[in-house]
Structure 1
Amino acid sequence: MDTAEIREWAKSYDESYDEELHEIEQTLHEALQAQEYITQGQLRDVVTWKLDNQAGRRSGNIERVNLVPDKFVRRVSEAALLVEDPEIQLKTLSSIPGIGCATATVVLTFYDPERYAVGDRYMVDLFFGEDRQMRVTDYPKLLSELRDRNPGGFDLRTVEKAYYQKYREENGIA
């Protein structure tokens, strides 16, 4: 995609973006930048955001997040944000019960949308041609693909939104 297409597709994403989910993203971005860790309550919001249309999975994952103390979530997430390696970051964040690789990418994206993007099975299918869940080892490759497809001037979250929205529309995903 060129600059105009990325702008157009990202705008289309934003126009269909649920206001409550957008508020979660904005609020958590500001909080994570200031705190440099995530709280248990904020992590529940991430799970809510990621699994918005999957009530059963969402409530089960939130229950698992609630099994560990807030202090554990804070320390694990703080440790994850101290390193620059996305594989180590995902492994660290996904050590929190209820947090898988895809949800861990949301934490990183909300923390720093300039450098990170949300990864999931749709992005794996789009960039790697495989309809499967995202693996820890996929994430650095996904970020590299998005950087390579960025015509310049966009944060990775914006580029990801554009490719995700185009993929959704071309594949009839609500």
Structure 2
Amino acid sequence: MALLLQFNHQNTFAVQELAENVGTSPETLIKVMRPLIDHKLLIASENSAPLTPTSSITVCRDYNRKRILINCLKSIAPMGQNPTTERNIHMQALDTAIVRIMEREKQLELDRLIYEVTLEPKHHSRPIFKIKARIEHFLKNKYLELSSGKQVIKLSKI
């Protein structure tokens, strides 16, 4: 985001100048800019040549909202490592749904909590055992508490 905001002040930058403005190394900036150039959001002066600190970069002014989202984190991850795997994204979405429901309802029976999570469109087809595993994770880490009768779950006061 900081990279793209630089183009509010000027139309064309050298990679070295952008790196200084953003506060990173030119090598890291080149890795981040590569997907932006590939998706035609940024335009390099020498399209086929590899980027160097003296390369000139311009922003595409005819950008529209129909362009796809670009994940810059994938470009700077070490080889063979993906910082946000699909599994982690699904677990975070489940966690968010559980917390949102529990904040709204304050306390629920276990079956009712599972049912409420499955009602959400993102988790409609999610297997019940995965939802139960995430709830157990919350219980184990004391984010949720079971009542004395082990029927009702409520948010922890942590």
Name the TM-score class by shorter chain: under 0.3
Q: Considering fraction of residues, name the structure with more strand.
A: 2
Between structure 1 and structure 2, the one with the greater Rg is 2
**Which structure carries more relative contact order (alpha carbon 8 Å, separation 6+)?**
1
